[in-house]
Structure 1
Amino acid sequence: MTETAVYAAGGVVWRLVEGKLKVLVIHRTAYADVTLPKGKVDPGEMLAETAAREIFEETGIRVSLGIPVGVSRYRMPNKRQKIVHYWSAEATDKAIRESAFVPNKEIAAIEWVGPKRALKHLSYPVDVEILENFLRFVDDGILSTFPIVVLRHAKATPREEWNGADAARPLTARGTKQSSAIVGPLRAFGVRKIISSDAVRCVTTVTPLAAALGKPVERTPLISQEAWEEGAADARTVIGKRVRSRKPAVLCSHGPVLPDILTELALATGTLRGSYLGSASSLDVGAFSVAHLSSTNPGSGIVAIETHAPKV
């Protein structure tokens, strides 16, 4: 991120009504315009967290983020550049029923419209471009997706400073902060299943997320560094189960193991392997990559992959 730019995030919120696609647009009070829901990043937030929060604040609808659908860039009246990241986001019937939206000083109304009408009535070309990006995925048969998140554990005490078993190495103070910082963005992607290497540094990394979700941490030696070093790791079994389940999940593991996990994910989904796998697996501590798969046909390949890192 650059210091001079203003960063924001939002989404193309969608639902199916009697089999027909509808997208959500907002009518802003002060500007008398029609836009996609979005808003500025709060201090310490990661972009995905911002997108889910802003969609909820502007529409009253809690969503889980789907695939990234583009980035808009434009100059504001003060000459600063504004950079807005967008994701697709399904509004479930339950989320819509629970919405308590009422018109306010910021948002005059929210409206569900067909794609053609939305393209016609959006006030800004940058929003039209984002919606067109989303509709290209729809035309390719990709609408409902689920994420498999590959997470590298947070910062741990270095081996040379630890006298006990390697698997027992704890997180540092920075690592503890990272483990808290990733809770919001992982929740934004709808993660519900937590699988972790049985090493302390991995389990501790996902413990705050587990507490926030009220879910257990499923520990496994199959993606541990100890097993990997002994040639006994089995990422294929872990990944195969997750792809078949079609449920949003996070896998917390170690730097040396991540390339194998991403390779197995590509194999399990029929995805051509390429340099993107190396980028997605070369994670700093506390960072994660999100692989989006089709809910209806997960064997059709990784639809999109993105990488995020905490700001601590």
Structure 2
Amino acid sequence: MSVDVRAAGAVLWRRAGDGFEVAVVHRPRYDDWSLPKGKVDPGETLAATAVREVLEETGYHAVLGRHVTQTTYDVPARSGHGVLKKTVDYFSGEAVSGSFEVNDEVDELRWLDPVAAERLLTRDTDTRVLREFCALPVSLITVLLVRHAKAGKRDDWTGDDDLRPLSDAGQRQADALRTLLPCFGPTRVFSAPRLRCVQTVRGVAEDLGVDVRHENLLSEEGYWPDPVLGIARLLAIAGDGGTPLIASQGGVIPDLISALADRDGTELAAARAGVVPSKKGSLWVLSFLPASGDVGPRLTSADYYPTPLPAPAPTRH
């Protein structure tokens, strides 16, 4: 399918008592009530677009979670002749700070419970997005799982493989991750004890003012003697609060995600012939239901971003 216009937005939400509210905005240009969204700027990822557009339209800084859905519809061409195909990717976005002020695009914002918000929304496409958002709880745990960026070929490196550094291309990927990952609000940083893994997330850790904690159970050498221990370690990290960022290796990530998906009945649509993708520099955004009673965190959603560089929409799982 040819896409002429790309856009992104979010279902912006905040806690309210024992429940939550979502933001619905009024756009005087169209005289409609909608969810905040806008067009992708050149050189911008969809996640960055969603965060920027939410801020511009609502005044709120959002931390993204799962990718909710993608809508596609026709819009008139600016020339006045013909139509264009427009796609909008929506994320879950928690409002963490800010306040609304009237701006060039939005003259009113209302915080409403989901039922009232659905009644107010003008377009059926927004209603479907809101319903998809409400299909899962808002209080999900996000784990950001990154494969280390490019580090050249192992056969070309004559030193200790643990010390093989990022290549120039890998450093560009790491720089792009440093821009992309803050959209999802990481709070802690972990890494397999390989230089290339640490270098991939070091910039994010520096921006957060935290150390990169080594996790041997999430390295290839540490994981495979007992994968159950590696999976348990990731779940323990997930249950410790905040949004952890973990850098690991291609020999670990596919098996770990497959095992969690099989255990929790989560479909991985990106898998082909049973193989879970894990390109160098790629990101998995894993969403877990919090632990309840004797049951630990359960994987309920997983989104794959094959590159941190500006790219097409993430594959939704």
**Would the TM-score normalized by the shorter structure come out above 0.5?**
yes
**8 Å CA contact retained: 1:281, 1:289:** no
Q: 1:196 pairs with 188, 191, 199, which one? A: 191
**8 Å CA contact retained: 1:144, 1:296:** no
Q: 1:238 pairs with 225, 233, 238, which one? A: 233
- Per-residue deviation at 1:149? 1.8
Q: 2:171 pairs with 165, 176, 183, which one? A: 176
Q: 1:86 pairs with 90, 104, 107, which one? A: 90
Which residue of 1 is the match for residue 296 of structure 2?
A: 299
- Per-residue deviation at 1:205? 0.4
- Per-residue deviation at 1:196? 0.3
Q: Distance in 1 between matches of 2:223 and 2:291?
A: 33
Which residue of 1 is the match for residue 280 of structure 2?
A: 285
Which residue of 1 is the match for residue 25 of structure 2?
A: 26
**8 Å CA contact retained: 2:231, 2:256:** yes
Find the residue that maps to 1:148 and give its secondary structure. Answer: strand
**8 Å CA contact retained: 1:8, 1:82:** yes
Percent of paired sites with the same residue: 32
**8 Å CA contact retained: 1:13, 1:88:** yes
- Per-residue deviation at 1:300? 6.2
- Per-residue deviation at 1:7? 1.5
Which residue of 2 is the match for residue 186 of structure 1?
A: 181
Higher helix proportion (structure 1 or 2): 1
> Is residue 2:106 matched to residue 1:102?
no
CA displacement 1:133-168 (0-9 Å, x = unmatched)? 12333xxxx221111122110011211221111111
Q: Distance in 1 between matches of 2:143 and 2:31?
A: 39
> Is residue 2:315 matched to residue 1:311?
no
Summarize the Cα distance change of 1:232–1:70 in structure 2 as closer, same or farther, 3 Å threshold: closer
- Per-residue deviation at 1:259? 2.6
> Is residue 2:147 matched to residue 1:152?
yes
Q: Distance in 2 between matches of 1:154 and 1:212?
A: 18
| Corresponding letter in the other structure for 1:39 | G
CA displacement 1:181-227 (0-9 Å, x = unmatched)? 12233212221111101111100000111122222111232222344
**Does 201-210 or 245-254 show the bigger shift?**
245-254
| Corresponding letter in the other structure for 2:30 | Y
Give the 5 Å matches for 1:26-105. Answer: 26-78=25-77, 79-92=83-96, 95=97, 99-105=98-104
CA displacement 1:253-294 (0-9 Å, x = unmatched)? 111111333255458xx5137655956842111001111012
| Corresponding letter in the other structure for 2:265 | L
In the alignment, structure 1 segments of 5+ residues that lack a partner are none
Q: Distance in 2 between matches of 1:277 and 1:299?
A: 25
- Per-residue deviation at 1:18? 3.1
| Corresponding letter in the other structure for 1:187 | P
**Does 99-108 or 248-257 show the bigger shift?**
99-108
Q: Distance in 2 between matches of 1:281 and 1:148?
A: 17
Q: Distance in 1 between matches of 2:47 and 2:148?
A: 19
Summarize the Cα distance change of 1:20–1:284 in structure 2 as closer, same or farther, 3 Å threshold: closer
In the alignment, structure 2 segments of 5+ residues that lack a partner are 78-82, 311-317
**8 Å CA contact retained: 1:30, 1:105:** no
TM norm structure 2: 0.85
Give the 5 Å matches for 1:119-130. Answer: 119-130=118-129
| Corresponding letter in the other structure for 1:252 | A
- Per-residue deviation at 1:89? 2.1
Find the residue that maps to 1:42 and give its secondary structure. Answer: coil
Find the residue that maps to 2:30 and give its secondary structure. Answer: coil
The Cα RMSD (Å) is 2.5
Q: Distance in 2 between matches of 1:228 and 1:185?
A: 27
Find the residue that maps to 2:115 and give its secondary structure. Answer: helix
Summarize the Cα distance change of 1:17–1:273 in structure 2 as closer, same or farther, 3 Å threshold: closer
